[in-house]
Structure 1
Amino acid sequence: MGAKFSTSSKKRQARQSSSQRQNQFQTNSGSSDGSVMRFGRKFHDVSSSAYWFPNDDEEIDRLVGQHFALKTLFRGNVVEKCRESVPLEQGALVLDVGCGPGTWLMDMATEYPCSNFIGVDMCDIFPTNIRPSNVSFQVANVLERLPFPDNTFDFVNMRLFIIALRKEQWPTVIKELYRVLKPGGYLQSVECGMLERGNDFIVWAGQVFKDTIFSRGQEPHVASQLPTLQQNAGFIIEHYETKDIYLGKPSEDTIDGRAQPYFCSLLFQM
């Protein structure tokens, strides 16, 4: 598999400060549809969503670990081009869509205390005890239009929607993120590829995962298709990179396999 990172930006000038915008969106909107138990694990019960991983405490622990693994892989929460172009030090308004337990948001909020951060997810698994003052959360589903006006955010973060969206839903979601970005705003996107290199077990496991994704109407190779989808929505790709995560310690003998690719892109909105 692999991860893809992308950023988008609009060139027109925004008319409201991030602090003014933040004050408009403090109240939670929408509500999750509850949850159901399957095989001893808790899953969402949102009928419009194709997401098929659990949303219980065990899964939250996995997502927290995944966050720090990706942060290490890409040398930070945002790519260097984004740090240069988005006014995070001065005060930006940032959206994390599909934020889950909000680990990326809270990490960013601590790193950039002058900016304000909003996380949205279809299920309320947001932190309640530890939360920086410049972070807020809302229940919302990007497939049902986000509860924000056009041209709201300086920066939007989106990652690992590969198991959350059906193939035909990707253009709708990318256009929605374009809508809520300010002119000159950036979208950072990270997606994973498939396990297609390695020993027989790795190849077998990767094929099982790929077949499961296909059976759910999803696209296992969406990472390689995203540049075209993003450009069709109006984005300009300003940065693109691929990183491998090795399933075990890499060496000269194993460099040929046991690796999952991750693709990162940074998109600029005109």
Structure 2
Amino acid sequence: MTEDHRQRYYASEQYLLPADKTEIARLDLQHRVFTKAFENRLSLAPLKLQSGDRVLESAAGTGIWAPEFSEENSKNGIILDIEYIDISDKQFLRKPPPNIHFSLRSAIDLPAEWNETFSYVHQRLIIVALNDSLWRKAISEFFRVLLPGGWLEIVEIDTNCYRDSYVGPYTNKLQALTLSMFAEKGMLVDLAPYFPPLLKEIGFVDVQFEVRRARIGRSGES
């Protein structure tokens, strides 16, 4: 393994994806694909936010979601105080406005002083980073830092997303290799049935679940 190759990845052995310019472009494109799949909405939770409310974005990636969510709310006269966290700042290419604050933190170990702080926690796409025990820690932390009545929104992919559509042999091979890699790392490959009982066990109520399809490649327009 060369030095350049080592520099492309996080120090964490648990996280499977790189941290380089190619990954930055992929993450920003992924954000646009997901936003389009949600009818150009940045959140599906039934939020009733007010100015001064605090929002947490966990595993922020390139930091693209928080400024857009802040701007969307500010157009309605709602000025939010947003914290966004990640285990690395290497992928941040944008300077956030003064109401958005970044810190190097992991979702499984949030500050003790954040108890019952946030009205909304937004978590997206860390299936490649957490196994069962780490998911339990992360969701327990989200529950702890949410205000009573606050909302947690988790967005994840279905690793069996090609099962209902025709794909060619290369895509099938890629999926098989991906599932094998997840199994080797002890990661969960089917989160849809996993989340609802876990969320209720930890203390969440009014647990809701939605499935969205995102078209990519030549058949998509994203």
- The residue identity in structure 1 corresponding to 2:48 is V
Give, in whole Å, the separation in 2 of the partners of 1:192 and 1:148: 31
What does residue 245 of structure 1 align with?
214
Q: 1:44 aligns with which of 10, 13, 20?
A: 10
Give, in whole Å, the separation in 2 of the partners of 1:37 and 1:178: 40
Give, in whole Å, the separation in 1 of the partners of 2:7 and 2:91: 18
Displacement after TM superposition at 1:245 (Å): 2.1
Listed as ranges, the matches of 1:13-162 within 5 Å are 37=3, 39=5, 42-46=8-12, 50-75=14-39, 76-79=41-44, 81-82=45-46, 85-88=47-50, 90-113=51-74, 114-125=79-90, 127=92, 130-146=95-111, 148-162=113-127
What does residue 219 of structure 1 align with?
188
Displacement after TM superposition at 1:61 (Å): 1.4
State which drifts further: 121-130 or 219-228.
121-130
- The residue identity in structure 2 corresponding to 1:56 is D
- The residue identity in structure 2 corresponding to 1:43 is Y
Q: What is the identity percentage for the equivalent residue pairs of Structure 1 and Structure 2?
A: 24
Give, in whole Å, the separation in 1 of the partners of 2:4 and 2:198: 34
| Cα deviation 1:42-92 (Å, max 9, x = unaligned) | 11113xx5111011122111111111111111121011x42xx3315x332
Cα 1:112–1:176 change in 2 (3 A) is same
Gaps of 5+ in 2: none
Aligned length: 210
Does the 8 A contact of 1:140 with 1:147 survive in 2? no
Indicate the SS of the match to 2:214: strand
Listed as ranges, the matches of 1:180-259 within 5 Å are 180-194=145-159, 195-197=161-163, 198-201=166-169, 202-248=171-217
Displacement after TM superposition at 1:243 (Å): 1.0
Does the 8 A contact of 1:100 with 1:125 survive in 2? no
- The residue identity in structure 2 corresponding to 1:86 is K
Gaps of 5+ in 1: 1-35, 252-270
- Answer 1 or 2: higher relative contact order, Cα 8 Å, separation at least 6: 1
Cα 1:216–1:135 change in 2 (3 A) is same
Does the 8 A contact of 2:33 with 2:214 survive in 1? no
The normalised TM-score by structure 1 is 0.71
Q: Give the strand-richer structure, 1 or 2.
A: 1
Give, in whole Å, the separation in 2 of the partners of 1:248 and 1:60: 18
